[in-house]
Structure 1
Amino acid sequence: MIVSLPMYDRAETAAANDALWQGVRARLGYGPEALHRDIGLWEAWLAPDLLLSQTCNLPYRLRLHGHVQLVGSPDYELPGCPPGYYNSVLVARADDDRALPQLAKRSVINQPHSQSGFGALWYHLADHGITPTIVGESGGHVRSAPMVAEGAGDLACIDALSWRLIKRHDPVAAQLREIDRTAPTPATPYITGAGTDLDALRESLSGAIAGLAPEHREALSLQDLAVLDEAAYLNLPNPPARDAA
């Protein structure tokens, strides 16, 4: 069985993610001994023996819906977000005081299938009458920040929890400034395979989150599990395909 927690797994959070999975496994009564960290995102998400992983709204809407079950969304208690929701932070270099329309002409995204790094950026800018020009794909929020700091782009959209972790752990944050925040959308949902006992897994995950040690809760900013209506994920608009952007 495949178990991965890839969304916010970095050196500073690895022990907390390990503890979270051990809490789930103890309550569930089965599952692999350790998280799978040597598996690709899509390989894990689409694995027929997927037990638990964490994905993003856009991959769920585009490809995963109908193949996996939604377990719930994490509640990170982010500013301005209801339980189980998150948003994204638009960042630019601290010494670049240009306005959003100029910054958007050299935008960096993390991945074209990212809600928080591409979808949220596209529709936030659209609400301001701006169409961004995408000049690079970083491969991950933690790499978008240095790309902007180093001048490979002028604007990036980073999900609020990733930005919190970057500010907490990465010196590059001091070289960046917050421009704006996007509207909240459902946070990166936990998913499982179609054949899993959803109620048992959901109860085990909820209990594991409640049982986290204070230092692990602090490392992950993880407070609770929110079970949202599926429509909250599916009714969001999709950004254009990258070749059309």
Structure 2
Amino acid sequence: MNATQWVAALPMYNVTPSLEACWRDWLADVLVAAGTAAQVVNVRDELTALWRRDDLLLSQTCGYPLTHGLSDAVQLVATPCFDAPGCDGPNYASAIVTHADAPFSTLESCRGTRAAFNQLDSHSGFNALRHAVAPLAHGGRFFGSAVQTGSHLASLQALAERRADVAAIDCVTFALVRDERPALAQAVKTIGWTSMSPGLPLIASKRVPADRIEALRRALREAIAAQPERARRLRLKGVDVLSMDDYSRITLLENEAVELGYPQLA
């Protein structure tokens, strides 16, 4: 495949247009440092189609899609390490949040309330919350209702507007929202944390050669070090290289919830 035919995109942590431009700037430097040309594309919908493209040089996915179908089409490049509450190296948790003046102080006190989650295939917003709730559920039920919002930002907005009572928010997203959209962050409060698992991995098509993967790994680190102020804004500290075995933690958490009789948020 000719180098000019590759595509790249970082669709996951764009909480504002300005921050999206910052991610694109960092990605452009990664590509230059890797010595690889690629078309940087804007993708907001149909992410699964992007992630399964044969010409995908670099993108970021959630660990749940990775472990539930993507592993036959992609290879792991690296996992970012973020400077954010709830992160530990390449691992992360979700903040369990409610609206700022809610009477709830623990997840258990949220029994019978309205849950919001971003997507059914999200580890941070759905799977991790399901795992946290499972030991508290009775007969497969805990919440009064659960609504899918489409994104972590939409879940936070639902809490702020009192259309929902509790949600689990990817801790990196939440840290970036505090930085970029402080009014929204101040409309909610944290009452707990989910279990940790490996963070959102950077991936490439299995057609990307091994030497180019190594070049990308070097370039990711170089682009973080090249502009410390930009890295601070993106909350990037570095990258680690993990294996699919590391990501099996996500299916382990899912299986533990199912074994406790809690396969859905309900």
> What is the TM-score of this pair, normalised by structure 1?
0.90
Change (3 A) 1:183 1:235: closer
Give, as a single letter, the amino acid of the residue that structure 1 aligns with 2:31: R
Q: Provide the aligned length of Structure 1 versus Structure 2.
A: 244
- How far apart in 1 are the matches of 2:158 and 2:136? 24
Give the conservation status (yes or no) of the 8 Å contact 1:87–1:181.
Answer: yes
Change (3 A) 1:47 1:132: farther
- Please report how far the alpha carbon of residue 142 of structure 1 lies from its aligned counterpart in structure 2 after TM superposition: 1.0
Is 1:91 aligned to 2:105, yes or no?
A: no
- How far apart in 2 are the matches of 1:39 and 1:50? 16
> What is the TM-score of this pair, normalised by structure 2?
0.83
SS of 1:233's partner is helix
- Please report how far the alpha carbon of residue 110 of structure 1 lies from its aligned counterpart in structure 2 after TM superposition: 0.5
Is 1:81 aligned to 2:87, yes or no?
A: yes
Change (3 A) 1:184 1:242: closer
Bigger mean CA offset, 163-172 vs 178-187: 163-172
Match of 1:172 among 184, 187, 198: 184
- Please report how far the alpha carbon of residue 137 of structure 1 lies from its aligned counterpart in structure 2 after TM superposition: 0.9
- Please report how far the alpha carbon of residue 216 of structure 1 lies from its aligned counterpart in structure 2 after TM superposition: 1.4
- How far apart in 2 are the matches of 1:81 and 1:222? 11
- Please report how far the alpha carbon of residue 39 of structure 1 lies from its aligned counterpart in structure 2 after TM superposition: 5.7
Change (3 A) 1:104 1:41: farther
Is 1:151 aligned to 2:162, yes or no?
A: yes
CA RMSD of aligned residues (A): 2.3
Aligned to 1:229: 243
Give the conservation status (yes or no) of the 8 Å contact 1:12–1:219.
Answer: no
Match of 1:126 among 108, 124, 134: 134
Question: Structure 1 vs Structure 2: percent identity of aligned residues?
Answer: 30
- How far apart in 2 are the matches of 1:26 and 1:18? 12
- Please report how far the alpha carbon of residue 111 of structure 1 lies from its aligned counterpart in structure 2 after TM superposition: 0.4
- How far apart in 2 are the matches of 1:110 and 1:242? 17
- Please report how far the alpha carbon of residue 226 of structure 1 lies from its aligned counterpart in structure 2 after TM superposition: 0.8
SS of 1:236's partner is helix
Give the conservation status (yes or no) of the 8 Å contact 1:107–1:132.
Answer: no
Report Cα offsets for 1:162-219 as digits up to 9, x if no partner. Answer: 11122222212222111101122111000000011222222222322232x2331122
